Chain A
Amino acid sequence: MYKIVSKTTLNNTTDKMEIYAPFVAKNAKPGHFIILRVDKAGERIPLTITEHTDETVTIIYQKLGYTTSQLGQKIVGDTVEDFVGPLGQEVEIKEASTLLAVAGGVGAAPLYPQLQAYHAQGTKVDLVIGAKQQRYLILLDDYKSICNKVYVCTDDGSQGTKGFVTDFLKQHLKNHTYDHSIAIGPLIMMKHVVSLHKTFNLSTDVSLNPIMIDGTGMCGNCRVSIGDKTYFACIDGPDFPGEKINFDELISRQSFYTEEEHMCQLEELVSNDKK
């Protein structure tokens, strides 16, 4: 069992949680993730390690569906059943004097340790951060302390520029150039950012979030087509160069269990009603 040592609410759908897990913390590096199971009947879900100490690991999760909501109900002192990691490949921090980072929604969480590493090596980082509305923006202050510039976009215009990050980027890239870029967010956002950046000859790394079970290369659920090759995101990734990824296939695979996920949430609503 793994104890929750601190918990902060970032916004009404997103929490930050620090968990005591020395075996995970010891070797954690930017790009690594964990897999957790809240209780014995639970599903195994992957979440990125955003920070760590010698003995604890911090995760930031958006309460999207059943498991993340169930996790959100846990308080400091509670435990989660299983917590394994660090999984995946450490991200390669490339040589770049200027970097464009793009975050969408909760993608701002996995991006954070990577930008910290870029900042630490002296790269000048500009961040474009997007969310549905102002209240879904996370980690703005943390980013302001490590980025050269932070540009905010919201779908409804409640903060920063109104519209998608890609709308903003189309204009922005006309008079700004960068050595390299990273985009982390929903698959559909990453797909569009990568294809836009291609037109500006800007390379883009992305972090993929396919459905995973074991995270050790055993099941093959997390596979992704890149060019004419297949990769397992859990052991080969989750970070990859974005240009040759078949995003449409991945989007289809990711939504394979949408109906069932919905069922789980309904169950929870019903059982909460009864309480």
Chain B
Amino acid sequence: MIKNKIKMNEQSPKERTTNFKEVALGYTKQQAIEEAKRCLQCDSPKCVSACPVEIDIPKFIQQLTNNQFKAAYNTIEQDNILPSICGRVCPQEKQCEGACVLNAKFDSVSIGALEHFIGDFALKENYSPSHKITPVHHKIAIVGSGPAGLSNATTLTKLGYDVTIYEALHRFGGVLNYGIPEFRLPNDIINQEINKVKALNVKFEKNVVIGKSITIDQLFTDHDYKAVFIGSGAGLPRRLNIKGENYGGVLYANEFLTRVNLMDAANFPTTKTPIKTGDDVAVVGGGNVAMDAARTAKRLGAKNIFIIYRRDETSLPARVEEIKHAKEEGIEFRLTLNPVAFNGENYRVSTVVCQKMRLGEKDASGRRRPLPTDTYKTFKIDTCIIAIGQRPNPILSRANDQLKTDEYGRVVVNNHETSIPNVFAGGDIVSGAATVIHAMGAGKKAAYAMDQKIKSS
């Protein structure tokens, strides 16, 4: 057996920082089969229970080693309709790969990379999901076209329902579309995966804000829906709450990434939404969003980009691969620092003042708690991008006071159903900002709960 995982080809750091093309180039067929052969085909596979949607991992890997690519795709698609996406963006080291028995001595099987390979192969060969649909003629409305909504839609369609997804923006995919950059997840892949969902006869309506364009009540009374699923995500930036945060040049990662991903600002002035970074860019935060913002700034031509994070390197919540990629691309990490103020003239930012932190005892998250010290550092900046988390999108709960939320604004559910009968919810709007695959898992489970509720009433 090969002890170490087969490395995926990548664009070199020098080359890739000048373009927005995908960094990871994917396995070749040979590489995929080689890697697949490393799997031990465990009898009680630990990897499966560590995947939030419990894909039958050994089965698809076995099929892959036997050259049965279509069968491998159908195995995955039973539980995950977006393999090309999850194979790319799942934090595998914390999920499936983290639990792989091979970790004890060697590298884990590269489950994500294999899923990425099969997903792309299925797109290329135009494989379709396998299922027989017996229509049940009930209409379902879904709010939001992110991973939660897409997975809910697919599951309900397979159960025979007539499903429509309403999306507030002009493109589908939620964070996949407006948040995660092209160099990690190309738009083309998202579109193709969404086309597969469309091919199942799921209807997609863009530019409709539920709660505004159509209220939840109107979905039932005027449009005859039997049930509603809310997958409206965590699209509300968390604030630092410090002086100067509203100065020009200080922006939230959502704005920065939306300008580039949704509005294609990198091609300004051919496209009409502008963006600018200047030379010195600070990014506050240590998660995937911060890495994405920093690496995007690099590609837009910023010269000195540094991450400001209040804990140490081992506590960075981003995927290991993103941190590695960011470092290779020259992103600097200025750790155990916490921003306390922005300064500038005429409401334009010019410096960020940070307080040096020291690490104390472990907190509830299992990481050492950052504690303030008396030392401060000031950095000159042109732009600061704040990426310290997202809170649930408030549009729906504000438009409907019967929709119960908790103190963090998350929609409260009981067996996936909200405080409004026949209105279900899942994904980031329920859990707070989490992961693509958790949102998909929630969408799928909610679909079964919806089916049960409708059938029993």
Q: Do chains A and B stick together as partners?
A: yes
Residue of B nearest to A219 (CB): B255
Residues in chain A near residue B214, CB distance under 8 A: 23, 26-27
Chain B residues with Cβ below 8 Å from A223 are 246
Interface residues of A, dominant DSSP: mixed
List A64-90 residues whose CB lies under 8 Å from chain B.
66-67, 81-87
Whether A235 and B394, one on each chain, are in contact in the complex, defined by CB atoms closer than 8 angstroms, is yes
Stretch of B53-61, B70-78, B87-95, B264-272 on the interface side: B264-272
Interface residue from A217, A221, A249 paired with B394 (Cβ < 8 Å): A217
User: B239 interface residue, CB < 8 Å from A?
Assistant: yes
| A175: Cβ under 8 A from any B Cβ | no
Contact segment of A39-47, A158-166, A183-191: A39-47
Q: Is B170 on the interface with A (CB-CB < 8 A)?
A: yes
* A248 interface residue per 8 A CB criterion: yes
Please tell me which stretch of A110-118, A119-127, A137-145, A256-264 contacts chain B, meaning at least 4 of its Cβ atoms lie within 8 angstroms of it: A256-264
- Asked if A83 and B207 make an inter-chain contact with CB atoms under 8 angstroms apart, the answer reads yes
**B347–A252 CB distance below 8 A:** yes
B235 touches A23 (CB 8 A): no
Residues in chain B near residue A53, CB distance under 8 A: none
Give complex CA distance A37, B169 in Å: 11
Verify if B395 is at the interface (C-beta below 8 Å from A).
yes
Which chain A residue lies CB-closest to B398? Answer: A235
Question: CB distance B251 to A220 under 8 Å?
Answer: yes
Contact residues in B for A225 (Cβ distance below 8 Å): 246
A83 to B205 CA separation, bound complex (whole angstroms): 12
Restricting to B262-285, which residues have a CB under 8 Å from any CB of A? Answer: 262-264, 268-274, 276
Residue of A nearest to B166 (CB): A23
Contact (Cβ within 8 A) A248 B254: no
Whole-angstrom distance between the alpha carbons of A246 and B346 in the complex?
Answer: 12
Q: Is the CB of B259 within 8 A of A84?
A: no
Chain A CB within 8 A of B186 CB? no
Known: A214-B168, A218-B235. A85 touches B393 (CB 8 A): no
Choice from A81, A216, A252, A267 contacting B168 with Cβ under 8 Å:
A216
- A11 beta carbon closer than 8 Å to chain B: no
Question: In the complex the two chains form, is B213's CB within 8 Å of A219's CB?
Answer: no
- Known: A216-B395, A219-B255. Contact between A27 and B168, CB under 8 A? no
Chain B 152-169 against A: per-residue CB contact (8 Å), 1 yes, 0 no? 000000000000000011
| Interface status of A9 (Cβ within 8 A of chain B) | no
Which residues of chain A from 147 to 203 have a CB within 8 Å of any chain B CB? none
What is the CA–CA distance of A230 and B394 in the complex, to the nearest angstrom?
15
Let me know if B325 is at the binding interface, CB within 8 A: no
Contacts of A267 in B (CB 8 A): 269
CB <8 Å contact, B170 and A87:
no
Count of chain A to chain B residue pairs whose CB atoms are closer than 8 Å in the complex: 125
- Asked if B333 is at the interface of the complex by the 8 Å CB criterion, the answer is no
B200 at the interface (CB under 8 A from A): no
The reply to whether B263 and A213 contact each other, CB–CB distance below 8 Å, is yes
CB proximity of A41 to chain B, nearest CB, Å = 5
Q: CB of B46 within 8 A of chain A?
A: no
Which B residue sits closest to A23, measured CB to CB?
A: B213
Whether B170 contacts A217 by the Cβ 8 Å rule is: no
Q: Which of A39-60 contact B (CB under 8 A)?
A: 41-44
Most buried by A among B207, B237, B271: B207
Residue of A whose beta carbon sits closest to that of B254 = A219
Question: Of residues 17 to 36 in A, which have CB atoms within 8 Å of B's CB atoms?
Answer: 23-24, 26-27
- What's the minimum C-beta distance from B217 to chain A, rounded to whole angstroms? 11
Q: CA A67 – CA B271 in complex, angstroms?
A: 11
B259 to chain A: closest residue by CB: A213
Contact indicator A219/B269 (Cβ below 8 Å): no
- Whether B274 pairs with A252 at a CB distance below 8 angstroms is no
Beyond A223-B246, A252-B346, whether A218 also contacts B258 by CB under 8 A is yes
Q: Is B209's CB under 8 angstroms from A66's CB?
A: no
Q: Is B26 an interface residue (CB 8 A)?
A: no
Which chain B residue has the least Cβ–Cβ distance from A70?
B272
Given contacts A81-B170, A85-B213, contact A218 B245 (CB under 8 A): no
CB-contact partner of B237 in A67, A220, A249, A252, under 8 A: A220
Tell me which residues from 181 to 225 in chain B have a Cβ below 8 Å from any Cβ of chain A.
206-209, 212-215, 218
Known: A223-B246, A224-B246. A82 touches B170 (CB 8 A): yes
B-side contacts of A220, CB under 8 Å: 237, 251-252, 254-255
Q: Which residues of A contact B239 (CB under 8 A)?
A: 230
A interface footprint on B66-109 (CB within 8 Å = 1, 0 otherwise): 00000000000000000000000000000000000000000000
- 7 contacts across the A-B interface (CB closer than 8 A): A82-B206, A230-B245, A253-B246, A256-B249, A263-B269, A263-B274, A264-B269
Known: A24-B213, A235-B398. 14 other contacts (CB 8 A): A43-B263, A84-B208, A214-B169, A214-B258, A216-B235, A216-B393, A225-B246, A230-B246, A235-B394, A249-B246, A249-B347, A253-B247, A263-B274, A267-B269
Interface of A toward B, CB cutoff 8 Å: 23-24, 26-27, 37, 41-44, 66-67, 81-87, 213-214, 216-221, 223-225, 230, 235, 246, 248-249, 252-253, 256-257, 260-261, 263-264, 267
